[in-house]
Structure 1
Amino acid sequence: MKLKIMTSCLMVSALLLVGCTKKDEVKQDPIKEDKVEQKVTTSVELKHIFPLTGVGTNENVDQRAIAVMVNNHPKARPQSGLQKADIVYEILAEGDVTRFLAVFQSEFPERVGPVRSARDYYMELAKGLDSIYINHGHSPDAKALLDKGYVDALDGMEYDGILFKRDKERKAPHNSYISFEKIEKGAKDNGFKWDTPPKEFTFLSDKEIETIQGASGTFTTINYGSPSFEIEYEYDATIGKYKRHSKNQQTIDHDTNEPVLLDNIFIIEASHKVKDTAGRRDIDLHSGGKAILLQKGKWNEIQWENREGIITPVKDGKVVGLVPGKTWVNVIPSKPGLSKMVSIGDDL
């Protein structure tokens, strides 16, 4: 069924984004070369493909995925390390506040954070990717899972000042960081496996990318209910990637000023229910439902399914391939749903 998007909403969203791109443009340093050699997957000289990005490399791809809970409170911005994540899941925690699960496998920043507390539904996603889970604190349900060893985890409540370091420039709970050197140390000290990569996602070939069909949409907004958590994705045709903005500020790295640049934006509906007086939620990441996939400035209505613990884009029961590169997954409540929370349009 055709997604209903109000014209007035599209115009307002587009005007906001145009204003953002002109008035709030971020001056950035040149993007540094990745430490790992990365080229298109079709290059015959490359021996391997990173499982979560589909990007080719001659380096070893057997690194286990690391899934980090990253704070998205306005006082935690800009964050560190998000630009290196292969995939980021953005989901509501309490109230209108979203939180990130940033998954790293193909490359790693020097540090990531601010690290925030665990929720059970984020842990389910980390487990689906067989990740080592990094958190600082936990809800009661998440603690119960941690206590029984549901995932291999490093918790800042146990390792504060040992593996996790407080940034003096920020105040708690927005100042906990961890380096990947410390993650490796903590994993090895706890006997966690380190060389078990996740299953490979499905990716499009170069030829398939050239023939991507769909409705045109270079600007997309997602309204989570608060101006501080209104997200804007802008497709930049000159680089073939999406830029992310939050509250009219481009999402960049705190430490390097590198921008977050994305190849796939996957927006899904899921049932949300508030379950306690603190506003914590039950979020159904198992039943599947409606979704939107944005690639190369085009968008399509598809579905999502949970396949072996992984949120997977599908259409008519078949897996939809991703553009090789980085992916951001936005999970929104099925009520009010995509038609109310998402607006897509072109540059005005």
Structure 2
Amino acid sequence: MKNNKKKVQRLFIAFILLVMCTACKQEPDKSPKADVKEEETSAPIAENTEIYPLTGLPLKNVNGQRSFAVMVNNHPDARPQSGLHQADLVYEVLSEGNITRFLAIFQSEQPAVIGPVRSAREYYVDLSSGYDSVFISHGWSPQAKETLENGRYDYLNGLFYDGTLFWRADFRKAPHNSYISAENIMEGAKQADIDLVQQPESLSFLSEDEMKNLKGDEAVKAEVRYDKSDVWNAEYEYDKQTEKYLRYSNNEQTKDLETGKSIAVDNLFIVEMEHQLIDDYGRRSIDLTSGGKGILLQKGVSRQVEWRNEDGRILPYLNGSQVGFVPGKTWINIVPALEDYVSLH
């Protein structure tokens, strides 16, 4: 009898374990891997989802912070750069001669390495003001120095923090070897008593329906030629799979130095602004305020638009109404004349 009772007990325990295991299989996977896989899907953004103000993408960190704008070197000796792929918005503008530099504005992501960092020009400072960004550079032109020292802007300059907040990479030569990190920017802001709490106001973004119904000319490739040589030129090729534009320069794809990740652009905005030489060094002044012609490329479609300066932001307009951006990364190329510098295919 005792043996029969033990058999019954064993069968009952086995039945209970079977039921529990079946229930466990029906539970959703709570592992970190499952969470990562879910984040990588491109499901539509719900209307009540909080978004990052400069990308329109879902907010991961509920404690958003102020943006910072970094002057990034684009000399061939500074390529490939670090951290550019994490910028929410990037301006590419001529600095002197045929050399362009980037103004990379970060808010949603905090890179561990950014650079190489280069010196400022006053119009880059003006472009950063539309996002109330803390301005980061290593050096400055006389005009930028005057602009930054007038008390209207918060900034950190590598001239005063070389070897502390800024570091020099040993695999590159000066002036193409200055780097900084988001962590060091926050530390520098603390030292300089700079407030990092206030987020920028949100850009305007297209809805899912508006993105599906974009109308314009097919544009799978855009060339922005700052010089006869390929060295200084930017090319953007549309990737139908990701619905983003991949950037190339000097016939090489623009990728991050540390991670190898590609620059992938959701909004490519090319605008025409008046440029004037102001010294023998080849420095310029650029008219950021008068408005003018532009080309907006989104999801393989280009539209002829105009640009306006709205409180320091260079924004697209069509038929008198502001055009929204596709949620994601935005790059803005500023050129002296569209017909001379830009070609679409």
The question of a shared fold, defined as TM-score above 0.5 by the shorter chain, is answered with yes
1:256-275 equivalences under 5 Å are: 256-275=259-278
3-state SS in 2 of match to 1:49:
coil
Is contact 1:48–1:61 with CA below 8 Å preserved after alignment? no
Q: Distance in 2 between matches of 1:131 and 1:229?
A: 27
- Asked if 1:78 is matched to 2:80, the reply is yes
Amino-acid identity (%): 49
CA–CA separation in structure 2 for the residues paired with 1:142 and 1:162: 23
Equivalents in 2 of 1:177, 1:341: separation in Å?
31
Q: Does 1:133 align with 2:135?
A: yes
1:279 aligns with 2:282: yes
Partners in 1 of 2:318 and 2:219 — Cα distance?
20
Give the Å deviation of 1:61. Answer: 5.4
Deviations 1:47-79 (A, max 9, x none): 411010011124225210010000000000000
With a CA cutoff of 8 Å and minimum separation of 6, indicate the structure with the bigger relative contact order.
Answer: 1
Match of 1:242 in 2: 245
- CA distance in 2 between counterparts of 1:60 and 1:169 reads 38
Which of 165, 168, 172 pairs up with 1:166? 168
* Structure 2 Cα separation of the partners of residues 196 and 186 of structure 1: 17
Q: Is the Cα–Cα contact under 8 Å of residues 218 and 235 in structure 1 kept in the other structure?
A: yes
Quote the residue 2:214 is aligned against: 212
For normalisation by structure 1, the TM-score amounts to 0.86
Map 1:5-44 to 2 at 5 A. Answer: 42-43=45-46
Tell whether the 8 Å contact from 1:37 to 1:59 is kept in structure 2 after alignment: no
The equivalent residue for 2:338 is: 338
Native 8 Å contact 1:41 1:54 kept in 2 = no
List structure 1 runs of 4+ shifted beyond 2 angstroms.
36-44
Superposed CA RMSD in Å reads 1.6
Cα deviation, residue 38, structure 1: 9.2
SS in 1 for 2:128: helix
The alpha-carbon deviation at position 191 of structure 1 amounts to: 1.0
Residues in 2 aligned to 1:136 and 1:313: alpha-carbon distance in whole angstroms: 31
Q: Hey, what's the Cα distance between the residues in 1 that align with 2:179 and 2:270?
A: 28
Counterparts in 2 of 1:69-108, with a 5 A limit? Answer: 69-108=71-110
Q: Give the match's secondary structure for 1:111.
A: coil
In structure 1, the gaps of 5 or more residues are 1-32
Q: How many residues align?
A: 308
Separation in structure 2 between the aligned mates of residue 214 and residue 339 of structure 1, nearest angstrom: 18
Q: Would you say 1:324 and 2:327 are equivalent positions?
A: yes
Query: Relative to structure 1, is the Cα distance of residues 40 and 321 closer, same or farther in structure 2, using a 3 angstrom cutoff?
Result: farther
